[in-house]
Structure formats: C-alpha cells, structure tokens
Structure 1
Amino acid sequence: MTSMTDRLSSRISRIGDRGDRKDVVAVVKLHGVITPTPSPLARGTINLAAVESALTRAFDHDRLKAVALQINSPGGAPTQSGLVAERIRQLAAKKPGVPVIAFCEDVAASGGYWLACAADEIYAHRTSMVGSIGVISGGFGFTGLLERFGIERRVHTAGENKKRLDPFAPEKPEDVEWLKKMHAQLHEMFVEWVKERRGDRLADTEELFSGDVWLGAKAVELGLVDGIGNLREVVEQRWPDAEITIAEPKKPLLARLGIGAPAAAQALLDAVAQRVAWSRYGI
C-alpha cells in the first residue's frame, strides 16, 4: 500500500512539473466581413459579440508572451471595427509587456486595417492587400420600378428628413450632400485612429488616406505595416520555445444545434453580401 508520504511526494512532483509548461503565443482569427448582424450559421463575420470570447481567452493565458491577430477582412461596419479594436486595447492594457501583433493575410483593408491598427506591430505577406483608409456606402435606385408593375408605395413620416435616400424615389442633391458629410466625419475618425496607432512610422504623404490599397512591400514603405512576414516565422524567430495556441470564437447557436435548413434563405443573402465585399479586392 502506498504510504501517505509517497502520495504527497508524487503530488508535489506533479505540481512542480507545471513549471515546465511552455510559454504561449495566443492567436485570434479575425476573418470575414465586419457586420453587426452575423449569420446564425457561419463564422465568416466579425463583430464584438462574435469575437469577445476568443479575445478574452487569448489574453487570459498565464505564460503569455504575445497575442497575434490573424486578419483577413475587406472591412465593413465602422462601429463594429471600432468596438473590436477598442476591446483589444482594453485587454492589452491589462497585460503590460505583452505585445499585440497583427498579421495581414489576403486582405486587411478598410475596417480590416482599422483592426490591424489595434496591434502594436503589423506584418503582412508580400501579396497582402493593405489599406483602403476611406469610407464607402452603396445601394440601388428603383425609380419607376413600382409604377411599371402597378404597385403603390405608401410611406408616412414625422420629421422632414426621416426618408432620406429612399431607393424608390429620385435621388435628392441635399440627401447626397448629407451622406457625404457623414462619410467625411467617419473618414476623419479613421485617419485619426491610424495616426494615433502608427505615429511617426507613417510616411508623410496624403496618399495614405486616399482610400487606395497597396500590396505588402509598398505598405511597408508607407509605414502602414512594420515588415513582411507570416505568423509562424515571426513567432519562431522571436519566441522559438513558445507554443502557438488558437483562441476560437464560440460557434453560432444554430451551428451548435446542427440546424441549417430554416435559415437557408438568409444564409444565401449573407453570402451574396459578403461576396460583394470581397470582390472589391478581386478575391
């Protein structure tokens, strides 16, 4: 029979073994279009609700050496871009000395680049498309369509500006001017965020904020990213003994339940919207 002393010695030995655990570089994947209304079936969207759990787990590791953001996004909703970026900085502030490093994959553009700027350092592949520091919105005009099919549209409002940019009415110059002012304000916020996070690493040129997008090497030249490299090679160079762990977001409820058919129509619409966003970058 094992003595009490033997059992205690064995337990102390196991506790001591915990000190041999490897350092950790935690990876959070920020992949997809940034939108406040993600599909209930897929993970291919980014918003604070979707990534909060993954971010929290990533920063919770005891032997954390760095947090890596794997970014592949053509952008999307500015508010969700700001909320996710701010949450990253809040968590980083609780882990002083732990760098946050962004790795741009195919695309880190518009809101995707907003997310990248939440990191202390940014790396890109030489083929990555980076930047697009601008604001865009789009829609369709269906003037005359209802009349063609004999449909009467009925809209009642309180407030003269409640019906701006109605797609079934002729476009009004004053509505377009209002939209442009909104775009200008959002663009200014985006520029201020990039300047705050990138500082004197940015090249002294207004070209940066034209809404254009650049490949990795040019992005380095402009100061939008710090270097060319991918996650594994950078981690192996800087923390060769660290273990890379992936902090996955929780699956959407319907995906966890295995329910797909009832939401097929919505999933199709979501897929079309995402395809349009990605196609702006030729992928």
Structure 2
Amino acid sequence: MSSEDDTPTSPATPVPEASRPAAPSVAPAAPSARSATDTVLEQFAHEYIRERRNARRWSLTLRLGWLLLFALVAWGLLTQNNHASAPNGPHTALVELRGEIAVDTEASADVLLSGLRSAFEDSGAQAVVIRINSPGGSPVQAGIIHDEILRLKAKHDKEVYAVVEESCASGAYYVAVAADSIYVDKASIVGSIGVLMDGFGFTSLMEKLGVERRMITAGSNKGMLDPFSPLSESQRAFAQSMLDQIHQQFIKVVKDGRGERLKETPETFSGLFWSGEEAVRQGLADGFGNLEFVAREIVKAEEVIDYTPHENVAERLAKRFGAAVGEGAVKALRNLPQLH
C-alpha cells in the first residue's frame, strides 16, 4: 500500500542565479551633522594646542634671550671699566675723532665727550691729544665738543693737542681750534671754514612730466626747501641769512682759537681747504707731526693710552640680539590666532 511518504524525493533542481530574487540593498548611511562638527572641533583643538606650544616655546626663548643680553652687557661694562682703570702712570691721553661728526656716530658729541672727560680726569694723563680724521659734519655737534674742550682745559689745567691725519675740514676744524696746538702732515687736508645747505629741486622736471605737487600747509613758509616746490626769493634770502649767521659763529671760533697765529687772507673763510703744508704757512696749524711725535717730543710722555669709547664685542652682540628679538617678536605676534 503506497502513500505520499513512501514516494522517493528527487534531488532539488538548482535555481539559476539570475532568476533568484534580489536581496534588499542597504543604502550607506549619510554623514551625520554630528561627525562634521566633531571634525571641526578636533581641528580647532589641534591648532589651539599647536599655537599654545609655540607661545610657550617663544616665551622661554625670550626669557633666555634677555638673560643672555643682560650677561653680555654686564660683561661689556665690566671689561670697559677694567680697561679705563688700567693706566696709573704718566702718559699721553688719546681721544680719536674719526668720520662724520653727527648724532649716533662714533664722532658724535656724546661719544667724544665721554672719552674727553675720562682723559682729563685721569691724574696720570700729562696732556690730551685729539687725533682727527674727519670731513666735518654737524655744526651743533662740533660746537658742543669745542665748548666742552675749553671747559675741561680750564677746569683741569691740561694742554690739549690736535693731531691731523688725512683730513680736518669744516666741523672737524671747528673742534681742532679748541686745542692749544694743531699738528698736521704735509699732505693733510685742512680748512673748509664755511657752511652749506644742499638739496635738489624737481619743479621743472615735474612740469615736463605733467606732475602736480599737492602740499597743504598752515604757515606760508612751512614747506620751505621742499624739493618739489619752488623756492621763493624771500625763502632763499632767509636761508642765506641763517647760513651767514652760522658762518660768523665759525669765523669767531677760529679767530679766538688761533689768535695772532692766524695769517688771514681774503680766502681764509671762503670755504677753501689747503694741504697741511699750506695750513702751517697760513697759521691754520702749528707744525708737522703725528701722534707719536707729539707724545714723545711735545708732551714728554711717550706712553699713549686710548680713552676713546669703543663699541666692544658684547655691545655689538647685544644690539644685534636686540634687533633679532624684536623681529622675532613681530613674527610671533603675526602667527598668533586672530579674532575677526
């Protein structure tokens, strides 16, 4: 007796894959707003931490730099003081006047007066020699140096000698006449007793180019000597009057300093300059000789001690370091986060 259970089952026939029902596809999840915000916050946090590390690093560098700067300056001052206290026997004190006489140069009044005072105050200094190699410069700076030399001479009762190397012209000669005697080389350049004010005028060129100068002033002479504006006759006369006045001051200083030794000619105060040989002939100088000659033969103290203030290595490094620190600070401030 047969039944459905007894009927043998045939093996399942494989269904072609193409005819199979496709499995439901799962769409990729859209990036959430939360993940984008996290990314921005993470980037900001990293940037903030980096900037804070840079700030701490810069702060440490700055502190170490100032400490180094202080040490360099202290060492420089100590070295300079030790040098200044070295001479203790009879000697000739030397102060150098080199280059242009102007503010913030090695021939400025501040620099020269510091050395002159030290030289005069040293009891071992038998006399002071100012060795000059300068084309001149500011009449104000030269006048300050000249007047202080006269004051120190009277206070300390010491002779002062000017020794000219290559050049002693204009403001440099203004300083030299404060000395008791002036010694030159036969080929030195001496003189140029005059005053000048120079500049350029571009008004004609501007007219050719069609350029208009727009300058607004309060005061009719406020723009005087402006190179892009015409110079009126009244302004020219005013400038000439001022130069003549300064020139007369220069002439008086020379006459007072040289006295009867000066053999004045119509050209003496014309602004001309002469060789050392001619300068001696005209009474602008007293004789021929260099530093060693004056120390040995005139002062009678052959040892020469230099009192000229010189910028030492520590001071140069300090200035350069200070400039570098300033530049680094500006760069660091530029890199800090900004609020807009």
TM-score category of the 2 structures, normalised to the smaller one: 0.7 to 0.9
Partner of 1:58: 119
* Pick aligned residue for 2:93 from 18, 22, 26: 26
* Pick aligned residue for 1:79 from 121, 136, 140: 140
Distance 1:261 1:169 in 2: 40
Q: Which amino acid aligns with 2:230?
A: P
Deviations 1:141-195 (A, max 9, x none): 2226667888765433222111111101123222222111111111111111100
Q: Which amino acid aligns with 1:123?
A: Y
Question: Alignment partner of 1:53: what SS?
Answer: helix
Larger Cα-atom Rg: 2
Identity %: 40
Which structure 2 residues correspond to residues 144-155 of structure 1 after superposition, within 5 A?
Answer: 153-155=213-215
Which structure 2 residues correspond to residues 117-132 of structure 1 after superposition, within 5 A?
Answer: 117-132=177-192
Q: Which amino acid aligns with 1:23?
A: P
Partner of 2:63: none
Distance 1:240 1:136 in 2: 40
Deviations 1:28-78 (A, max 9, x none): 001111113x25xxx3xx221222211111112112210000011111111
How much has 1:250 moved relative to structure 2? Answer: 4.6
Partner of 2:277: 217
Distance 2:118 2:268 in 1: 34
Aligned pair 1:100/2:160, yes or no? yes
Distance 1:68 1:241 in 2: 11
* Pick aligned residue for 1:35 from 62, 82, 102: 102
Which one has a larger percent strand, Structure 1 or Structure 2?
Answer: 1
Which structure 2 residues correspond to residues 140-179 of structure 1 after superposition, within 5 A?
Answer: 140-143=200-203, 153-179=213-239
Partner of 2:80: none
- Relative to the length of structure 2, the TM-score reads 0.64
Q: Unmatched 5+ residue regions in structure 1?
A: 1-20, 264-283
In the superposition, relative to structure 1, how do residues 240 and 52 fare at CA in structure 2: closer, same or farther (>3 Å)? closer
Q: Which amino acid aligns with 2:173?
A: Y
How much has 1:111 moved relative to structure 2? Answer: 0.4
Question: Alignment partner of 1:100: what SS?
Answer: strand
Q: Do the aligned residues in 2 keep the contact of 1:100 with 1:121 (CA within 8 Å)?
A: yes
How much has 1:22 moved relative to structure 2? Answer: 2.9
Q: Do the aligned residues in 1 keep the contact of 2:295 with 2:301 (CA within 8 Å)?
A: no
How much has 1:234 moved relative to structure 2? Answer: 1.9
Q: Which amino acid aligns with 1:180?
A: Q
- Compare 57-66 and 119-128 and name the one that shifted more: 57-66
Q: Do the aligned residues in 2 keep the contact of 1:123 with 1:226 (CA within 8 Å)?
A: yes
Question: Alignment partner of 1:206: what SS?
Answer: coil
How much has 1:89 moved relative to structure 2? Answer: 1.2
Which one has a larger percent helix, Structure 1 or Structure 2?
Answer: 2
Aligned pair 1:187/2:254, yes or no? no
Q: Unmatched 5+ residue regions in structure 2?
A: 1-87, 325-340
Greater RCO, CA 8 A, separation 6+: 1
Q: Do the aligned residues in 1 keep the contact of 2:121 with 2:156 (CA within 8 Å)?
A: no
Question: Alignment partner of 2:113: what SS?
Answer: helix
Q: Do the aligned residues in 2 keep the contact of 1:23 with 1:63 (CA within 8 Å)?
A: yes
Question: Alignment partner of 1:105: what SS?
Answer: strand
Equivalences, count: 237
Q: Do the aligned residues in 1 keep the contact of 2:183 with 2:289 (CA within 8 Å)?
A: yes
- Compare 235-244 and 109-118 and name the one that shifted more: 235-244
